[in-house]
Amino acid sequence: MVDTFHNLGWVKFPYDGALAHWVAQVLPAARMAVDDPAHAQWHDCDGTWFIGVDALDNDPQGRVGGSPALSGAAIEFAHQQYGPLDLHKAQLSVIYPGYPQPRRGENKAAARYRANRDAAHVDGLKPMGPDRRRHVDEPHAWILGLPLTAASADASPMVVWEGSHKILGEAFRDALKDVPLSELATSDVTDIYQSASREVFESCPRFELPARPGEAYLLHRHSLHGVAPWGPDASAGPDGRMIAYFRPELPGGVAQWLETP
């Protein structure tokens, strides 16, 4: 499993009773968060995507209300690889039939990229300013996906480009190797990111990664990943395809984010 993760940039964990129990305890709070008027801004793509950043009100151990702490093979594996990290409030990403539609303010090129390239991206590189330049804004340790609802395999699953973390990680390290520590977080990585992503599309297999409640998957922080369109025959319940994502930040900042593991 360790070799799979470091070679492919992702690993999937089979059904885990401890995780399934956590999901069952957390789901009511997740539903409330999706419907909360305070989170109205996260409903986008003409109602086909609830983005849900920091929408789940969990504590640093993953407890929500009276739920147990997050446990099971997936989180234990992440801690074994990177050490224990406190959890931020999880993203609740919910996809509904008809995804993708253009986001608010999204131009035609970006909408095509969303539809044709699964809106592929590396987490933590936010486009900023009128020129949409990118820097390492959030140096995540890893990305842990925990499905909260059942959905068919073609209901907008996670997509990852296998081995992409090696290409992108090398590109980022090369681009920032001579940058002082104090300037790493503000250095522009737009051009190298776009160039390395094109190389990934040409050379790395695209892999869809559906999962059901009680299962989980962990992505390497440098992996290029996205969300597939909702399939023509896809199905899910009234809650849509809902996944909680944990992406804790590294205490060592961008310098640690650039490291090989």
**Tens of pLDDT along 19-37?**
999 999 999 999 999 999 9
pLDDT of the residue at 132: 84
Amino acid residing at 230:
W
Distance CA 190, CA 97 (A): 32
Residue-level pLDDT at 128: 82
95 to 22, 141, 209: CA distances (angstroms):
21, 25, 15
Rounded Cα distance between 112 and 164, Å, is 21
Tell me, rounded to whole angstroms, the distance of Cα 26 from its chain centroid: 19
Name residue 20's amino acid: A
Rounded to whole angstroms, how far apart are CA atoms 242 and 99? 13
* Inter-residue contact 18 to 62 (CB < 8 Å): no
Domain boundaries, the chain: 2-250
Write down the pLDDT at residue 14: 98
What the block records as the tokens of 257 is 């984010």
pLDDT tens for residues 6-15?
Answer: 999 999 999 9
User: Residue type for 240, please?
Assistant: G
Architecture of the domain whose range is 2-250: Sandwich (2.60)
pLDDT at 130: 80
Which residues of the chain are modeled with pLDDT < 50?
Answer: none
Residue 151 structure tokens: 């959905």
Pairing of strands 125-128, 133-136: antiparallel
Distance between CA atoms of residues 209 and 70, nearest Å: 21
